[in-house]
Amino acid sequence: MKQPSQIRNIAIIAHVDHGKTTLVDAMLKQSRIFRENQQVAERVMDSNELERERGITILSKNTAIEYKGIKINIVDTPGHADFGGEVERVMNMVDGVLLLVDAVEGPMPQTRFVLRKALERGHKAIVVVNKIDRPNARPDEVVNETFDLFVDLGATDEQADFSVIYASAIKGWAGTEPDRLADTLEPLFERIVADLPAPDVDPSGPTQLQATLMGYDEYKGKIVIGRLNSGTIRRNQNVLWMRADGTSQPLKVAQVFTHRGLNRIEVEEAAAGDIIALTGLGDVGIGDTIADPDDPRPLPPIKVEEPTLRVTIGVNTSPFAGREGKYVTSRKLRERLYLEAAKDVALRVSDTDSPDVFLVAGRGELHLGIMIENMRREGYEFQVSKPEVIMKRIDGQLCEPFETVEIEVTSEHQGAVVELLGQRKGRMQDMQIREDGMVFLQYLVPTRGLIGFRQQFLTATRGEGVMNTLFAGYEPYVGEIQTRNFGSLIAWESGVATTYGLHAAQDRGQLFIEPNTEVYEGMIVGQHIRETDLEVNVCKKKQLTNFRAAGSDEALRLEPPRKMSLDDAIEYLADDELLEVTPVAFRLRKRYLTKSERKRAQAVKKEG
């Protein structure tokens, strides 16, 4: 067992894509965790399939290395603000942070978010200026901007007096001067051991651990991960499970694990200060305390910011229901959603008046979209509504969530972006023209106005614009926002789409489907060029005759259909539309499938 003075617990925090996971890769390789001939994947910490596909970290994960007799527990955290719940709870079990900042981009919106969480916990930081080998690197300006950020966030004098390491994570180089890098990460390891504190724990006190992360193993079941704040814990020890609501229950620890590299090593006993994993604790949830039955001392529950966006998720009611999914009942859906809420403290799940529909609230479209994609891959079939913001009454006034939006565009696209944000009730906060000709814009925009904005932004900037958002708080409701200036093309009968039918429909807008796609009445098959919806017959077949006109047999030309990702499909939805999600496909549809039902619903809405 390591003594607390021989342990450092650190989190690596940064804006998305600034190189956190790549740095962890380099630290693991240089600490001789892997065999000389072992094949190691890039971004080895991004073990989740979705993380590898999207190139982002979604779940916090921990590993451990040893340097000169000091054990360094490292937690790799997400950089995207939608997964801020992961960052907030991790801060409970570390004693210091490595703040990664890109040597070209400098501090970004989510750098502010993750750093604020670390400073609130009183943690000290080492600033790592990463990607120092990039051609346009500006290390001095980036360090100054980072210092200004510390001051803006109310850092103490001790916190603002941070050490700076310059690094190229991809090459595994680091140094204390930007132009003098060692060909190893030795300078970084030295600074971690010297500057970041050992855990402040009580080795001789009663057992006390807070469940901070959850894992799962097919054979061991649920794995509870957290830092042991006090005392020791051993295999087969009797403990008390103390819930956030004040109730408690006796349990027995089955196994105790510590971390080494990417592996969990089973031990007989672990001491205070180490980040450990426990099995045999049943339904223990995030934020619950594992304590000594003879001297139970609960830890304060983990507090995270409230969700700002919600959707309804319900049993699939389309004509294709049950054909493609493995789990299709409301019971299975409810179990899965509440299991997700137990693992993700930033997610809220609640029942509705209908037993087949559940209300799910999260931090943003990406947060909810990742959960939906994971469920789809697991075999669940369900339908999702358009995301809507969660309003609040503050001092009797109706308020809605706002986001800080930072955008980089070329000067030729600046006008289009300013016009789009103006339509969505955005307020410009700052505008700068940089030396390279790029225009930097900062806006305060209602979260409602950003739903469905990404696709329009990419179209307006021809894919060259860069946009980052960060939750800014609640402000008074700003009135109606027109976020969608198009309608949908709706299939007016069930059947199989034909080239002839699609050719006739493509003049009315942009199609989403190909010939031979099976459709049903009320399914959305394309985007209308006008603001109203239009029923089209995509199953129409050409009438055969005995006559042949010149040119009648020429092949009909179809424009390639627009292929949408799951995120695009969620963004597309209108208030009266749903997204049918199955393991095989996802389909856009109207909430009411027949024309008569839609007319009746519109009449009721007008009367209301």
Q: Are 353 and 276 in contact (CB under 8 A)?
A: no
Please report the DSSP string for 296-308 in residue order. Answer: --PPPPPP-PPP-
Q: Are 387 and 451 in contact (CB under 8 A)?
A: yes
Question: Which candidate, 391, 323, 77, 122, places its Cα nearest to that of 212?
Answer: 77
How far apart are alpha carbons 314 and 517 in whole angstroms? 24
How far apart are alpha carbons 424 and 210 in whole angstroms? 43
- The C-alpha R_g of the chain, in whole angstroms, comes to 27
Maximal CA-CA distance, the chain: 97
State the binding site for GTP. 17-22, 130-133
SS3 string of 354-382?
Answer: CCCEEEEEECCHHHHHHHHHHHHHCCECE
State the binding site. 17-22, 130-133
Which regions of 3-57 does DSSP assign to beta strands (E)?
7-14
How far apart are alpha carbons 578 and 444 in whole angstroms? 29
- How many C-beta atoms lie closer than 10 Å to residue 197's C-beta? 13
Q: How far is CA 453 from CA 427, 459, 467, 473, in A?
A: 15, 10, 11, 19
- How many C-beta atoms lie closer than 10 Å to residue 541's C-beta? 12
Sheet hosting strand 509-511, strand order edge to edge: 509-511, 524-528, 488-491, 534-536
Q: Taking the mean position of all CA atoms in its chain, how far away is CA 266?
A: 31
Q: b/e string for 398-426 if b means 16 or more Cβ within 10 A?
A: eebbbbbbbbbbeeebbebbbebbeebbb
How far apart are alpha carbons 503 and 515 in whole angstroms? 10
At residue 597, the 3 state secondary structure works out as: helix
Q: Are 390 and 308 in contact (CB under 8 A)?
A: yes
Q: Are 113 and 470 in contact (CB under 8 A)?
A: yes
At residue 230, the 3 state secondary structure works out as: strand
